[in-house]
Amino acid sequence: MQFHCKNCRFPFKPASGMKLLGAICPKCEHPLNLSVADRMFGKYEMLEVLGVGGYGTVFKAQELNNSLLFTLKLLRKADVSRADQVHLLRQIQSSRQMNHASVVAAHDFGQEGDYWYLISDYVEGLPLNEWVKRFNPAPYKSLHLCALIGDALQHIHDQQLIHRDLKPGNIIIDEQQHPHIIDFGLCTSKRDSHLMTIERYRAAREAIKKAKSGRKKFILGTPGYAAPEQLVGESLSAKPASDIYSLGVVLYELLANQKPANRLSRLMNRRNLVSRLNSYHLDPADTKKITQLCLSACSAKASKRPPSALAFATACRSISDPKT
Ligand SMILES: Nc1ncnc2c1ncn2[C@@H]1O[C@H](COP(=O)(O)OP(=O)(O)O)[C@@H](O)[C@H]1O
Ligand SMILES: [Mg+2]
């Protein structure tokens, strides 16, 4: 999405966090004075840029003459492959199956002008990565939060869906400190043979490209959060346990203030986590339980992870609830 400065005609892409009302031109610093018409997309008035990713631009928006807030994700048609279109469709289909206070549903998608668009509910809050910096939660609070995320994940899995891109940027924490899972752009169902065929083709093509260029392996999801079984060639074996791995990494990061390192030994990851937990002077029995739970959830072997998101949530709660 591009806007033009009316003063110097400079075309620019809005940056993340930019409020469109009262914005100034990044080049001549003249007020942009964007009119309502300039800020309209279909029946939605764009208010603020929430995020600019490789995958498109996300705006906070509202319907004209309606105070309800939405997120509007715009993807340039030229950048949307056949596989991406199927992902968009799946995002809507999976959203319709879900009904949970901590799962953010997409309502609608379609095409208009040069763009594909996707509409979801807006959640007032902060992505988890920013929320952590502001609130610096103690271990029991982090466990409590991950239990709530685990509950939402169980709801997703109960619909036979797998999120496949769970990470702090895809979890919004609202003002009541409740988490909301967003961004079902990679969501899949085990039974979705059409999407699987497209992904298998894409995976094979990417694998050939990467092998030729000698670059690292391609991962479906986000490196660092995606489970090892989401590596290309194995991406089709993503399962509910893959989301539990990602949530385990989220918990590790909340507790240890760093991600578990793949290349470091399990022992090193344990040492980093324990030393950070020790700085909180917890009951040593709790430190042991937390370490065990967290390291099992982000275990490379799916069979060593908690058997379900609910089991993970229950284990988190059994440690945090007596203390909060
Ligand atoms: N429903 C929402 N409520 C509030 N903020 C949101 C919502 N959806 C997205 N955002 C913000 O926009 C960013 C990008 O959105 P996301 O759907 O994750 O797109 P991307 O495909 O670029 O990762 C998020 O990290 C978050 O900050
Ligand atoms: Mg995202």
90 Cβ neighbours under 8 A, 6+ residues apart: 184, 187, 188, 189, 192, 195
- 279-294 average pLDDT score: 96
The per-residue pLDDT for 256 is 96
Domain boundary among 77, 103, 121: 121
Find the CATH number of the domain harbouring 273.
Answer: 1.10.510.10
User: Containing H/E element for 74?
Assistant: strand 69-76
Task: CATH number of the domain at 32, please.
Answer: 3.30.200.20
Of 79, 102, 121, the residue that ends a domain is: 121
CA distances for 207 relative to 81, 121, 297, angstroms: 18, 36, 28
CA of 55 to the centre of ligand 2 (A): 9
Exposure string over 279-299, b if 16+ CB within 10 A, otherwise e: eeebeeebbebbbebbbbbbb
Q: Is pLDDT at 209 greater than 70 in this prediction?
A: no
The residue out of 71, 97, 121 marking a domain boundary is: 121
pLDDT at site 210 = 62
Q: Which atom of ligand 1 is least distant from the CA of 121?
A: 1
As for how many domains the chain has, the answer is: 2
Q: Which region among 41-50, 74-83, 193-202, 238-247 has the lowest average model confidence (pLDDT)? A: 193-202
107 and 129 share a domain? Answer: no
Of 26 and 160, the structure prediction assigns the larger pLDDT to 160
User: How much is the average pLDDT of 108-119?
Assistant: 90
Instruction: Give pLDDT, residue 82.
Output: 78
Within-domain flag for 1: no
| Ion ligand 2: protein residues whose beta carbon lies under 5 Å | 170, 183
- CA gap 48, 45 in Å, rounded: 10
75-81 mean pLDDT: 86
Same domain, 267 and 305: yes
The response to whether residue 58 sits with its C-beta less than 6 Å from ligand 1 reads yes
| Same domain as 206, residue 78 | no
Q: Read off the pLDDT of residues 265-285 as tens digits, 9 standing for 90 and up.
A: 788 999 999 999 999 999 999
The answer, yes or no, to whether any atom of ligand 1 lies below 6 A from the CB of 71, is yes
Confidence of residue 110 (pLDDT cuts 50, 70, 90): confident
- Residue 116 is part of which domain span? 14-121
Mean pLDDT of the chain: 87
